[in-house]
């Protein structure tokens, strides 16, 4: 389960940002997760519930998750389409000359603190 490692990294990053900005508490952390990133949101939430309690700054915080859709572009026809629905083959021209342009990343989007 790599989600625990991700959460440990997120918490360390948020604590550093909190220290730099003199925060006394973090109310929420919003993360963007790509639809095809391999990160399981439910596992991430479970790990957050465990790990946040070990941080004074984050102990009462909420993890918010936004899913970014997987989008693939076809190099032959130039159209984009849903990666999850159609995978590697373009639904417009049936080409396999495609590549993922969005949806495999992970980032901290927002930290709400006081």
Distance CA 44, CA 57 (A): 19
Distance CA 105, CA 38 (A): 9
Flag whether 77 is marked binding: yes
Flag whether 93 is marked binding: yes
Q: Is 15 helix (H, G, I), strand (E, B) or coil?
A: helix
Flag whether 31 is marked binding: no
Q: What does the buried/exposed string (b/e) look like for 37-70 if buried means 16 or more CB atoms within 10 Å of the residue's CB?
A: bebeeeebeebbeebbeeeebbeebebebeebeb
Flag whether 47 is marked binding: no
Flag whether 90 is marked binding: yes
Binding site for Zn(2+): which residues? 74, 77, 90, 93
Binding site for Ni(2+): which residues? 2
Binding site: which residues? 2, 74, 77, 90, 93
């Amino acid at each position: 389960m790599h989600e625990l490692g991700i959460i440990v990294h997120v918490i360390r990053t948020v604590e550093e940002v909190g220290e730099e900005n003199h925060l006394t508490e973090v109310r929420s952390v919003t993360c963007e997760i790509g639809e095809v990133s391999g990160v399981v949101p439910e596992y991430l939430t479970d790990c957050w519930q465990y790990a946040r309690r070990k941080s004074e700054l984050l102990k009462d915080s909420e993890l918010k998750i936004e899913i970014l859709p997987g989008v693939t572009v076809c190099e032959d026809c130039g159209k984009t389409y849903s990666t999850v629905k159609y995978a590697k083959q373009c639904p417009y021209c049936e080409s396999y000359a495609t590549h993922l342009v969005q949806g495999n990343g992970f980032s901290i989007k927002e930290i709400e603190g006081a």
